């Protein structure tokens, strides 16, 4: 990943130009991106900016990568799928959490009743057509 610098010499691409793709492909924490940026700056012998300047740059890169990922994810969503997904985050009257929060919350302890609840949760997840298509599951639990 080389590119020409202002004075005509070849330099390595900056971490902000490489990090969006890395952020999309992985789950890098801000601290990992921050460390990568510091390492790059030191490798090209650039005077390190203040921490807050670098933190803002990392935040911008992550925000840009998240926006790109979000646009790619919603591109193929139909209106009916969007409605179903929106319904997942609504907290119904009398409930303490949304369906999404309940479904993403796995078992905490290893016990018979907890495993039973996990299997019920798996059955609820498998009802979704997109999950059946991804896993090749024709029936629910």
* pLDDT digit string, tens, across residues 54-73: 888 888 888 898 899 889 88
Name, in order, each residue with C-beta under 8 angstroms of 18's C-beta and a sequence gap of 6 or more. 1
Whether 140 is covered by a domain: the verdict is no
pLDDT given for residue 129 in this prediction: 67
Same-domain status, 6 and 64: yes
Same-domain status, 18 and 69: yes
More confident residue, 64 or 133: 64
% of the chain at pLDDT higher than 70 = 71
Is residue 92 classed as helix, strand or coil in its secondary structure? coil
Same-domain status, 63 and 97: no
**Six-digit token pair at 115?**
């495993």
Whether 59 is covered by a domain: the verdict is yes
% of the chain at pLDDT higher than 90 = 4
CB-CB contact of 32 with 38 (8 Å)? no
DSSP character string of 19-83: HHHHHHHS---HHHHHHHHHHHHHHTTPPP--HHHHHHHHHHHHHHHHHHHHHHHHTT--HHHHH
Whether 141 is covered by a domain: the verdict is no
In 3D, which of 128, 125, 123 has the Cα closest to residue 140? 123
Same-domain status, 24 and 58: yes
Q: What is the domain extent for residue 90? A: 79-135
pLDDT given for residue 16 in this prediction: 52
Indicate the number of domains in the chain: 2
Q: How confident is the model at residue 43 (pLDDT cuts 50, 70, 90)?
A: very high
């Amino acid at each position: 990943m080389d590119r020409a610098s202002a004075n005509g010499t070849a330099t390595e691409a900056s971490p902000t130009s490489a990090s969006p793709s890395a952020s999309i492909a992985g789950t890098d924490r801000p601290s990992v991106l921050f460390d990568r940026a510091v390492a790059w700056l030191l490798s090209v012998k650039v005077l390190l900016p203040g921490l807050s300047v670098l933190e803002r740059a990392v935040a911008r890169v992550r925000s840009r990568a998240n926006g790109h990922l979000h646009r790619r994810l919603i591109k193929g969503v139909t209106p009916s799928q969007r409605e179903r997904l929106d319904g997942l985050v609504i907290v119904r009257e009398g409930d303490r959490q949304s369906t999404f929060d309940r479904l993403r919350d796995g078992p905490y302890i290893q016990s018979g009743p907890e495993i039973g609840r996990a299997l019920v949760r798996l059955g609820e997840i498998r009802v979704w057509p997109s999950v059946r298509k991804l896993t090749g599951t024709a029936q629910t639990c």
